[in-house]
Structure 1
């Protein structure tokens, strides 16, 4: 019988924990606003203990953590494993704040045109997607502050590329001249405005030029203030998808991430004629279960 497992997805701004069943499903899950930047020096063990109250008693589970908890600002800096990487590389790279009981999954690094790229946490989610959907290969698109597109085949994550889509949206939304024509709150998605931004981005004029259209369209009364955030979101997501040059042919394309953002990407991909499947946030728990199983299998 596999050892009981507690999974931890510890990011910059939030902490998610779950008791994970043998099939990778969460038996019980909790989410707290205790990202790594809120934890004082030397305080990670206490925050984890509080988050997992009642779960860490005998029989002692394996606690497997992923995400920014393994970064320089986290509990313990864990060296990146190199792509292509499979479960054996992730298991070999585990770092143990508490040997035999608590481990942190290493992030991954790759190179694109000689420039390094990195991820922490998304590797676990990407492997979990394969298990959730029963796939042996996939292109996994993970929207977010730093959106990732990972390619998986032959049991390995072959490579990936990061786009700072969410962060660029926040910067333009809050700290550029565009902020003066946008409402204080984003409000609900306005699909026509979103798709209009998407189409302008895909016309290929480049973001530095296209972004100014959010101001000029509003200036001449062709874009309502309330539609501005949706239009800008369409521009940024459209630019990301244009740069990625995705094609319908190839391994299945899977979206996984927060529901609201994933729905925007699904709308954009459908508009561009790119079929995509979706997987929920439970992919992280399935990924941690798969890594734990690989660790158990590798033990002497």
Structure 2
């Protein structure tokens, strides 16, 4: 079967798996979504896990992106160096079954700013292909490890990963601040105060301990919101360094996280624009298949 006749697109992450049966016109005609992420598949279990997708969606050509191509996944797909476009990814696909079942490689940059990603590259290229993001736009993927992807001429030109979400989780669960960070986080006054301090150049480490000090001295703010604002504000300040204010930044991720980043971007003089991650992923896979 030719890729132009339709295919299965799989977004296979660490904890979740989403597979889409796509027809010749690019329409999703069936979908499989479950929690059988890469980390839940035991040794030697990937052949069977992939067969489950084909049984559910039909025996078709299949292109897989995400952590299935990592050293913890089905087959390790080597990284493609930046700058990277859909054609470069297509040429470096790791074929499990020649011409029929392939894994999209991740993208890396080497040198002092060494970084890697798997999965976000498909969404970034798809967002441009679908017209959701300009060819020279900036895309942010909030999450455990937030990704900031700079597009230039429709290609992934450079990117940076921030351990924002993971650091907040460590502080909340395993630090002296645990009791203070148990509350809900929303784009409220406490969050805005944290963002403002971070954007203003406040020392992150000292400001974090200040949460403890204010608590002991009877402070009344939402400490979880303030800490989140500090971290996300620091994230945003670093990512936007050298960029002119006012430009839109595309946000791809969970709605609650995107709302926080959008608020922080607004305080930094930028405009956060939430885009459909699923649509971007599907457009990215479709663009890659055009070179197969």
Please, what TM-score do these two structures have when normalized by structure 2?
0.90
Report the CA distance shift for 1:144/1:171 in structure 2 as closer, same or farther (over 3 A).
Answer: same
- Mean Cα displacement is larger for which, 17-26 or 127-136? 17-26
Per the TM alignment, residue 21 of structure 1 is displaced from its structure 2 partner at its CA by 4.6
- Identify the residue that residue 238 of structure 2 maps to in structure 1: 243
Change (3 A) 1:234 1:188: closer
Paired residues for 1:218-257 under 5 Å: 218-224=215-221, 227-246=222-241, 247-248=243-244, 252-257=248-253
Residue by residue over 1:262-296, the C-alpha shift from the partner in whole angstroms, topping out at 9 and shown as x without a partner, is 1111111112220232212211121111111222x
Q: CA deviation at 1:251?
A: 6.7
Distance 1:212 1:79 in 2: 41
Unmatched segments (≥5 aa) in structure 1:
296-300
Distance 2:16 2:110 in 1: 28
Select between 127-136 and 273-282 the one with higher mean Cα deviation: 127-136
Structure 2 unaligned segments of length 5 or more: list them: none
SS of 1:54's equivalent in the other structure is helix
Question: Which shows bigger deviation, 44-53 or 67-76?
Answer: 44-53
Q: Give the C-alpha shift of residue 250 in structure 1.
A: 8.6
Number of the residue aligned with 1:298 = none
Counterpart in the other structure of 2:149? 150
Distance 1:7 1:136 in 2: 23
Residue aligning to 1:124: 122
Aligned equivalents of 1:251, 1:92: Cα separation in 2: 33
Report if the CA contact (8 A) 2:32-2:56 is conserved.
no
> What residue in structure 2 maps to residue 83 of structure 1?
82
**Corresponding residue SS for 2:84:** coil
- Find the aligned partners of 2:256 and 2:217 in 1 and give their Cα distance: 30
Q: Shift in Å at residue 49 of structure 1?
A: 2.7
Aligned in 2, Cα 1:221/1:51: closer, same or farther, shift over 3 Å?
farther
Is the 1:25–1:286 Cα contact (8 Å) retained in structure 2? no
1:1-300 to 2 correspondences below 5 Å: 2-21=4-23, 24=26, 26-57=28-59, 61-111=60-110, 114-132=112-130, 133=132, 135-183=134-182, 186-187=183-184, 189=186, 191-224=188-221, 227-246=222-241, 247-248=243-244, 252-282=248-278, 283-295=280-292
CA RMSD of aligned residues (A): 2.1
Please state whether the residue corresponding to 1:212 is helix, strand or coil: helix
With over 3 angstroms needed to count, the CA separation of the structure-2 counterparts of 1:25 and 1:206, relative to structure 1, is: farther
State the secondary structure of the residue aligned to 1:276.
strand
Q: Distance in 2 between matches of 1:268 and 1:214?
A: 19
Tell me by how many angstroms 1:164 deviates. Answer: 0.8
Query: Residue 15 of structure 1 contacts residue 31 of structure 1 at CA under 8 Å; is this kept in 2?
Result: yes
Residue-by-residue CA offset, 1:190-229 (whole Å, 9 max, x unaligned): 51111111112222122211211222232233235xx222
Give aligned pairs, total. 287
For normalisation by structure 1, the TM-score amounts to 0.88
* Structure number with higher relative contact order (C-alpha < 8 Å, ≥ 6 residues apart): 1
Kept in 1: contact 2:16–2:36 (CA 8 A): yes
* 1:249 Cα deviation after fit: 5.1
CA 23–290 in structure 1, closer or farther in 2 if over 3 Å, else same: farther
Tell me the secondary structure at the aligned position of residue 64 of structure 2: strand
